[in-house]
């Protein structure tokens, strides 16, 4: 495994509202990614989501931690997918921002 990719997405919602929006939006995100990526494991522990994804025959793990002013995402990609990190980071930021903005 490679070093984790870390993405920070700022918000002004407060922790409770950001957490609520992410929890409600994960289902939409899973439907959007269906056929490309699948969530093999998804566990909320307090304000942190720990997950395992599978796609393109590869498995990635990570966590999303909701804080008062930002959402911190860390994903550990297999070395093959780590080469695409420059494309993955902007997509993570965009999708997380969209989930936070939806009311």
Extract the tokens encoding 11.
């918000």
CA atoms within 13 A on the CB side of 64: 24
* Architecture category of domain 5-101 in CATH: 2-Layer Sandwich (3.30)
pLDDT tens digits along 37-91? 788 899 999 999 999 988 778 888 999 999 999 999 998 988 777 776 677 778 7
Quick one: pLDDT at residue 8? 95
Tell me if residue 6 falls in helix, strand or coil. strand
Contact 71, 12 (CB under 8 A): no
Residue 1 clears pLDDT 60, i.e. is over it:
no
Task: Compute how many other C-beta atoms are within 10 angstroms of the C-beta atom of residue 69.
Answer: 12
Residue 100 clears pLDDT 80, i.e. is over it:
yes
Quick one: pLDDT at residue 42? 92
Domain residue extents for the chain: 5-101
pLDDT tens digits along 11-45? 999 999 999 999 988 887 777 777 777 888 999 99
């Amino acid at each position: 495994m490679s070093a984790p990719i870390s993405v920070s997405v700022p918000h002004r919602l407060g922790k409770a509202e950001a957490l609520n929006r992410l929890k409600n939006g994960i289902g939409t995100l899973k439907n959007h990614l269906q056929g490309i990526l699948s969530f093999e494991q998804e566990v909320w522990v307090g304000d942190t989501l720990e997950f395992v994804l599978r796609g393109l025959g590869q498995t990635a793990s990570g966590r999303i931690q909701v804080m008062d002013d930002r959402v911190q995402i860390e994903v550990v990609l297999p070395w093959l997918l780590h080469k695409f990190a420059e494309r993955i980071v902007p997509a993570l930021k965009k999708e997380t921002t969209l989930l936070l903005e939806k009311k």
